[in-house]
Every structure is written in structure tokens, then in C-alpha cells.
Amino acid sequence: MTEPAPVFASGVDNERLNAQLRFLLEADKLKRVLRKNLLVDGSRRENSAEHSWHLTLFARTFAEYAPEGTDVDRVIEMLVLHDIVEIDAGDTFAFDRADAETQAAREREAAERIFPLLPEDQAQRAHQLWEEFEAQRTPEARFARAVDRLHPMVANWHNEGGTWTRFGVPRAEVLKKVKLISEGSEALGAYATALIDDADRRGYFPA
């Protein structure tokens, strides 16, 4: 599709506005990135844009389970940005070890292309938030990661095992992900453990 000519408005920094718009139009491509995970009702695979939106709602709704003093607005900003790199890098399934080996390099290259579409100040902030999420050194980043890890577990439990059953993921491998959840929220980590135990009782993991 040919890029339309920019629209100019009086009284506006049109260069800045059009840079912001280029970023937003690029971000629209996230709707085309399909994840392995299914929707809660199991009807189809979710896309990465849907995933990002639902994570922000999880974070806002579960804010009371974040460590005291956590800036939940920063968490939400992090969550809405962190998967944009999947436009170039694609979604990496949590239990695909081969794909995981190249994930960091693929996503960093994508970040270096996509975030600079924004005006410089916004590009720097977006990149900083993305780096913060990846480094996991702040309470906000750890809570964001906890929500990111919990989300597919909730979906899998509700659609009778989902990707756990489809790809034969052992219970022990899923339990390893609970550590990341507990580091961001003890309450959500405890809930994730209970969810996995119940999924095991229901036969959602290979024997």
C-alpha cells in the first residue's frame, strides 16, 4: 500500500505529529502477529495486540497484588510497549527453546528500528521502558513480567489445557515460570501454583 501524503494542520508541530502517526500506523501491524495461545474460549489464536491490551487490563485490575509502592501506570506503559518488537521478531512461544535462543537479538534489532519512528524524546522513553522490562530490575518491570507470565496460564486453564495440551508441555516446565510470577507478586505466584495444580488434576499435562 502506498503511504498517503502527510496532512498538515495549522498551529501544530506537523513534523512531530506525523512522526507519532508513523509509529502508530506501524504499531497497527501488531494485530497481524498471531501467538500460539488461544483465546479464553478456545475459538482461535490471539494476536499480540489483543494480548498487550489484555495485559494492561490485568495489571490495572490486579494492582492491589503489586508490591507496595509500585507505579502501576508505569507498569501499564511498559506492557503496552513491550510486545511491539514482535512486529519484526514474531511471537516466541515460552516453551520453544530453539526460538528462545535468538529471541533477545531479534527483539533488540526490532526495537532499534521501530521506536526511532517516534520523535526523539518519546523514542528514548519507549526504548527505556522496553529495556527496563527486559532487565527486570525494578518492581514495575517484575510485576509487568508476572502479569505477562500469568496471562497465558489463565487462558490455558480455561480452554482445557490449551497450548500445554497441544504441545505436550510437562507440568514441571510450566512450574518453572511461576518463579518469575512470584518475583513480581507473591499473591499472583501463589495463585499460579494453585492453577497449575488444578490443571494437573484435570489431566491437562502429559502423564
pTM of the full structure: 0.92
CA distance 87 to 33: 7
Which residues, other chains included, contact 149 with Cβ-Cβ below 8 Å and sequence gap of 6+?
94, 177, 178, 180, 181, 192
CA distance 58 to 69: 18
CA distance 205 to 203: 6
Q: Which fold has domain 14-201?
A: Hypothetical protein af1432 (1.10.3210)
* Residues belonging to the chain: 207
Sorted by where each begins, the domain ranges of the chain are 14-201
Could you tell me if 56 and 76 are in contact, meaning their C-beta atoms sit under 8 angstroms apart?
yes
What would the pLDDT profile of 103-122 be if each residue is shown by its tens digit?
Answer: 999 999 999 999 999 999 99
Cell of 176: 518453572
Could you tell me if 144 and 75 are in contact, meaning their C-beta atoms sit under 8 angstroms apart?
yes
What would the pLDDT profile of 124-169 be if each residue is shown by its tens digit?
Answer: 999 999 999 999 999 999 999 999 999 999 999 999 999 999 999 9
What would the pLDDT profile of 172-198 be if each residue is shown by its tens digit?
Answer: 999 999 999 999 999 999 999 999 999
Phi-psi region of 8 (alpha: psi -120 to 50; beta: other; left: phi over 0): beta
